[in-house]
Structure 1
Amino acid sequence: MKVTLIAGSNRTNATSTYLLKYIENHLKAQHISVAFVDLSELQLPLFSPDNWDFHPNVGRVLEAIADGDGLILATPEYHGSISGALKNALDYITAGQVTGKTVLSVSSAGGPLGVSSLSHLQTIVRNLHGINCPEWISIGYGSNTFGPDGAPLDEGMRNRVRDAVDSFVELTRKLTATAAAAN
């Protein structure tokens, strides 16, 4: 199984990216192959439906999505929604690239929780015909501190993240097996 992770902040040292790196380590500990796309390092030009001659960075993102059996999207919450960098990346995706894949939504907010950004992500996933994981991860002010290894310092947060990721992995495995059996 291969999972594609997209860190949707263009901010260096973003808490949503730290959280995604912790998730990456958790997946690798389970011997799951991971492709990590960090939009702060792999910047994309502004999407335009008039230009389908994509920049090489866009090709890398689309290839990582196509190669993954599942997708984890992480975003900071800005003004009650997802980051512009992540929205721009998602605008390049067509439904065929996400159809039938499990998607886990992750948010980091400056306030108590990032529920609005998670709702927006799930709406986008539905429009791309992806399958939203029934779990999601939201961290907010006070719970977004991380140790030197990238792990959340709060034990309850670590447990919630692991539980959500394990639920995502289980659903991804089931959907991948079902798709393989149908072919």
Structure 2
Amino acid sequence: MNIVIVNGSARVKGRTGIVSRHIQRKYGVELIDLSQLNLPIYNGEEEQYGLAEVKHLVEMISNADGIILASPEYHSGMSGALKNALDFLGSKQFSHKPVALLAAAGGGKGGINALNNMRVVARGLYANVIPRQLVMDPNCFDYEKDGLLADADVLAKQLVDELRMYVKIHASIMEK
């Protein structure tokens, strides 16, 4: 089972990257790190699809059985970096594929708008967004270990487990 998490933050040391790397290490998923992947700004021109970074993104998402989209919330939406990456993709990569959503919030009631924004865009890509979604507040993080505190890790595990369940269901349906 090939699960890919997309760190949708352009910040190298942001909380979205911390949770993405934690899930990658602890739960054996692959990582697309938009703070490291140097994608151009999407312009719809065909030559962009020949760039190595874009090919890498398309290939990893195409080969994924399930995807976790992770983003900070900026101005009541997902990050521009994640939206830009998703603009390079389409229903060919996402159609009926199980997708989990995760927002790393700055605090308070942050994160829910980013989740809703990601859900709308994923629907436009024909993805199957799973019911469980997750907001990680600043108090969820172990900054010294570049990971999550124990209680937050339980929530991350539940998200990964539910995504895996939906991937298995999707695979059994596709076999028929």
Could you tell me which runs of 5 or more consecutive residues in structure 2 were left unpaired when the two chains were aligned: none
What's the secondary structure of 1:9's corresponding residue?
A: coil
Aligned to 1:42: 37
The letter of the residue matching 2:115 is: L
* Alignment partner of 1:61 out of 52, 57, 62: 57
1:108 counterpart residue number: 104
Aligned-pair distance for 1:12? 1.1
Give the CA deviation at 1:147: 4.5
Q: 1:146 to 1:172 in 2, by over 3 A?
A: farther
Q: Which runs of 5+ in 1 are unaligned?
A: 29-33
% identity of equivalent residues:
27
Native 8 Å contact 2:16 2:104 kept in 1:
yes
Q: Quick check: 1:108–1:144 contact (8 Å CA) kept in 2?
A: no
Give the match's secondary structure for 1:132.
Answer: strand
- The number of residues matched between the two structures is 173
1:174–1:13 distance in 2 versus 1, CA, 3 Å: same
In the aligned structure 2, how far is the partner of 1:25 from the partner of 1:141?
20
Matched with 2:120 is 123
Letter in 2 for 1:106: L
Equivalent runs, 1:1-183 vs 2, <5 Å: 1-28=1-28, 34-49=29-44, 51-53=45-47, 54=49, 55-112=51-108, 113-148=110-145, 150-153=146-149, 155-179=150-174, 181-182=175-176
TM-score w.r.t. structure 1 length? 0.89
Bigger helix fraction: 2
Q: 1:147 to 1:178 in 2, by over 3 A?
A: farther
